[in-house]
């Protein structure tokens, strides 16, 4: 148990070897270890009931499931430890970061915002095409907190509750990848003269932190990270198959005829992950060795795999040409 508790603080943690009940205990441990339970006078039983309710409100999708929720929260916990965030953030900010991570994909249906909007689903209609999924995750989170037996914030006064609600909603809404460029640009403008006493700066940093954790699988060791790519592709294929069946637009990177694991990952690591983590590195240089180095190694490995894939396709192409050539020759022999 002690070894697990220490391992839980690092991005190298093996997220695959645990049952839901064990992941729930780990989440409970993180809240205790960060002193959120005693510090905010939370009822430990309410914390348990709340986490169980969270688990029940994640669907069994290939990717956007309870284990993904666990991964994102465990990465947040790792970053809080690695970057000593408790020394620079208030405990309310730590509570907001952790709780937003836990809640950030509640009741995700496995089909993305673009699908929701193009298929004119109930969610898209309800939220007027504006981040329908993320709005839904927020709403579900606060429906859960509205049940007294799951309300871990019952000890907060109304003003503090408002602040926490606002903070969590801002972070969950920031996980919409359609806003990636906007949010990263805003952070880049602040980072060189970052002011930890400026509320706007701190909010922007928290938004970038949850974004980092949300898409951090490739920071993990190869054996832990790679199965997640299969899960993501499985969910993409589910969506693109449905889009084809419903005559909706299909993205090439989701099409089972066009995408492979290396092609899916190389661009994402090079143009989304590394630039974002390198910007965060300006504030927290300690993430270079622990988080950015694994990203570079993963990029290099997928580039090698892609070269092998390309070479195999070249061989396959030559073989087909030879078959056609000899079939034609033998045909002409008979004539
Ligand atoms: C969502 O799916 C659409 C295809 O319907 C695709 O074009 C879009 O890039 C996807 N968005 C994300 C964030 O993966
Ligand atoms: Zn997510």
195-199, 218-222, 326-330: least confident range: 326-330
* Minimum CA distance residue for ligand 1 atom 7: 251
Distance CA 255, CA 233 (A): 9
In terms of Cβ atoms closer than 10 Å to its own Cβ (0-12, 13-18, 19+), residue 68 is buried
* Ligand 1 centroid from CA 250, angstroms: 8
- Residue 100 or 323, more confident: 100
Number of H helices, E strands in the chain: 17, 0
Quick one: pLDDT band at residue 335, thresholds 50, 70, 90? very low
Where does the pLDDT of residue 4 fall: very low under 50, low under 70, confident under 90, or very high at 90 and above?
confident
The mean pLDDT value for 180-193 works out to: 98
Active site residue 64: yes
| 57-71, 214-228, 300-314: least confident range | 300-314
Question: What mean pLDDT, rounded, does the chain reach?
Answer: 96
Residue 255 assigned as binding residue: no
Please tell me what DSSP assigns to residue 128: T
For atom 6 of ligand 1, which residue has the closest CA?
A: 251
Q: What is the CATH number of domain 2-307?
A: 1.10.1300.10
Whole-prediction pTM value?
Answer: 0.94
State whether the beta carbon of 243 lies less than 6 angstroms from ligand 1: yes
Choosing from 10, 29, 55, 64, which is the catalytic residue? 64
Cβ(214)–Cβ(206) under 8 Å? no
105 is in an annotated binding site: yes
Q: Is the pLDDT of residue 333 over 80?
A: no
Q: Which two tokens stand for residue 129?
A: 């095409």
Mean pLDDT of 265-285: 98
Instruction: Look at residue 22 in the predicted model and tell me its pLDDT.
Output: 97
Judge whether residue 74 has pLDDT over 70. Answer: yes
pLDDT above 80: residue 1: no
Under 8 Å between Cβ of 248 and 118:
yes
């Amino acid at each position: 148990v002690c070894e697990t508790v220490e391992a839980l603080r690092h991005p190298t943690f093996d997220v695959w070897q645990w049952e839901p009940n064990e992941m729930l205990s780990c989440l409970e441990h993180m809240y205790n270890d960060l002193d959120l339970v005693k510090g905010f006078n939370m009822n430990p039983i309410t914390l348990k009931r709340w986490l169980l309710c969270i688990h029940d409100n994640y669907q069994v999708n290939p990717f956007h499931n309870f284990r993904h929720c666990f991964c994102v929260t465990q990465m947040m916990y790792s970053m809080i430890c690695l970057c000593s965030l408790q020394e620079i953030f208030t405990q309310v900010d730590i509570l907001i970061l952790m709780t937003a991570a836990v809640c950030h994909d509640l009741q995700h249906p496995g089909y993305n915002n673009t699908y929701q909007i193009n298929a004119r689903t109930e969610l898209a209609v309800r939220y007027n095409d504006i981040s329908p999924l993320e709005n839904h995750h927020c709403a579900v989170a606060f429906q859960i907190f509205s049940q007294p037996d799951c309300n871990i914030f019952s000890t907060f006064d109304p003003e503090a509750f408002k602040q926490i609600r606002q903070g969590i909603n801002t972070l969950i809404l920031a996980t919409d990848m359609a806003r990636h460029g906007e949010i990263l640009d805003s952070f880049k403008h602040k980072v060189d003269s970052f002011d930890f006493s400026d509320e706007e700066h701190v909010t922007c940093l928290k938004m970038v932190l949850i974004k980092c954790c949300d898409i951090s699988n490739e920071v993990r060791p190869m054996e832990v990270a790679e199965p997640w790519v299969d899960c993501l592709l499985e969910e993409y294929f589910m969506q693109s198959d449905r889009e084809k069946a419903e005559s909706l637009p299909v993205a090439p990177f989701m099409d089972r005829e066009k995408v492979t694991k290396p092609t899916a990952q190389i661009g994402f690591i090079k143009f989304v992950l590394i630039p974002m983590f390198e910007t965060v590195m300006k504030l927290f240089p300690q993430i270079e060795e622990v988080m950015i180095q694994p990203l570079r190694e993963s990029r290099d490995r997928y580039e090698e795999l892609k070269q092998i894939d390309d070479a195999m396709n070249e061989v396959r192409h030559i073989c087909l040409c030879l078959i056609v050539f000899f079939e034609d020759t033998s045909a002409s022999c008979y004539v």
